[in-house]
Amino acid sequence: MTIELQNIGKKFRNEWIFIGLNYTFKKEHAYAITGHNGSGKSTILRVLSGMMPANEGKISYDLNGSEIRADEAYKQMAYAAPYLELIEEYTLEEILDFHINFKPLLSGISKSSFFELVYLTQEKTKRLKEFSSGMKQRLKLGLSFFTESEVLFLDEPTTNLDEKGIQWYIDQVSKVKKSKLVIISSNDKREYQFCDQILDITHYK
């Protein structure tokens, strides 16, 4: 998928978070959106994914030469962020079944292999409210890595991960970027060290 931004602007009340943003995100590239805390990194990710509307400009989504309507583009996307909540009353097995109803696992990945890939095999019958913050983040990342999508949005992806978890993230996302458009919001270089394009959102104030 290709995502093209034409003169995009977003404001809250009377303050522009970013304005006049023209940019094109192309498949099989990995992009890092950087900037200091409060600069609008998470906001632009939400606007790109359709979670939040822009105040001005146009976003175009193109898949294999065909334009996709903005209200249909979400079907091609996966999103992981610390602030996105999971249904904590569900067990790990139940949350995976729920997720698969909307987005299937990648070809060749079964439910049992998914649990192995996220190192949560022993926890599959445990309710998510019993998970540590690091386990929840690893699950969120796994759901985005290992299900069908054309675009992967990651917002501060190593939040709550220990050193082993960070290395797991780097290994997995380095593989994913070969077949998907990957867009990461971060100011931690470890999270986007493999990215070949950098967009500093502070240039669009």
Assign residue 150 the CATH number of its domain: 3.40.50.300
| The total number of structural domains that make up the chain | 1
State which residues form the domain around 50: 2-204
* Whole-angstrom distance, CA of residue 184 vs CA of residue 173: 10
Q: Cβ distance 201 to 18 under 8 Å?
A: yes
* Whole-angstrom distance, CA of residue 61 vs CA of residue 74: 10
Q: Is the pLDDT of residue 157 over 90?
A: yes
Tell me the pLDDT band of 70, cut-offs 50, 70 and 90. confident
More confident: 87 or 29: 87
Give per-residue burial for 157-192: e unless 16+ CB within 10 Å, then b: bbbebeeebeebbeebbeebbeebbbbbbbeeeebb
Q: Is the pLDDT of residue 18 over 90?
A: yes
Tell me the pLDDT band of 71, cut-offs 50, 70 and 90. confident
Q: Quick one: tokens of 173?
A: 């996302």
Q: How far separated are the first and last CA of the chain, in Å rounded?
A: 27
* Whole-angstrom distance, CA of residue 144 vs CA of residue 78: 5
